[in-house]
């Protein structure tokens, strides 16, 4: 595997379900990010991790819970989501948390029923 991978690529869940999104980067980067992309809206930064430590939480509702066990893996745990949470969830990584280029994974297309 190369670059940034995400699983699953598609997910349909009910509002009472609990699911997790997984991201893995094979680039040796130290910073990882979660973004939300809704139709016709700009990419929204959700969380930032640098060297496994959360450095930014962009006022994300608590029904989204991130986890970063090491610099290569990032999870987004989902519970009691709302239909408006349906979107493309993108993971990205960069060498450091700064002005470096971010590289994106393919995304998870989430539908909440």
Q: Cβ 40 to other proteins, closest distance in Å? A: 7
| Cα distance between residue 7 and residue 22, in whole Å | 5
What is the phi-psi region of residue 40: left when phi exceeds 0, alpha when psi lies from -120 to 50, beta otherwise? left
1, 41, 62, 69: which one binds other proteins (CB under 8 A): 41
Q: Does the footprint of other proteins cover residue 10 (CB under 8 A)?
A: no
Kindly report the number of other CB atoms within 10 A of residue 8's CB atom. Answer: 13
Q: Does the footprint of other proteins cover residue 101 (CB under 8 A)?
A: yes
Q: Cβ 15 to other proteins, closest distance in Å? A: 25
Closest to other proteins by CB, 62 or 101? 101
Q: What is the DSSP string of 52-79?
A: TEEEEE-S--TTEEEEEEETTEEEEEEE
13, 19, 22, 45: which one binds other proteins (CB under 8 A): 45
> Cis bond leading into 8, ω under 30°?
yes
List contacts with other proteins (CB under 8 A): 33, 40-43, 45, 48, 56, 90, 98-99, 101-107
């Amino acid at each position: 595997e190369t670059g940034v991978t995400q699983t699953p690529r598609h997910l349909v869940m009910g509002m009472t379900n609990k699911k997790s999104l997984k991201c893995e980067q094979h680039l040796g980067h130290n910073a990882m990010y979660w973004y939300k992309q809704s139709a016709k809206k700009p990419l929204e930064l959700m969380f930032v991790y640098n060297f496994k430590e959360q450095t930014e939480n962009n006022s994300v509702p608590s029904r989204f819970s991130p986890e970063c066990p090491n610099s290569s893996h990032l999870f987004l745990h989902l519970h009691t989501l709302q239909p408006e949470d349906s979107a493309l969830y993108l993971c990205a990584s960069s060498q450091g948390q700064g002005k470096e280029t971010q590289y994106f994974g393919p995304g998870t297309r989430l539908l909440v029923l």
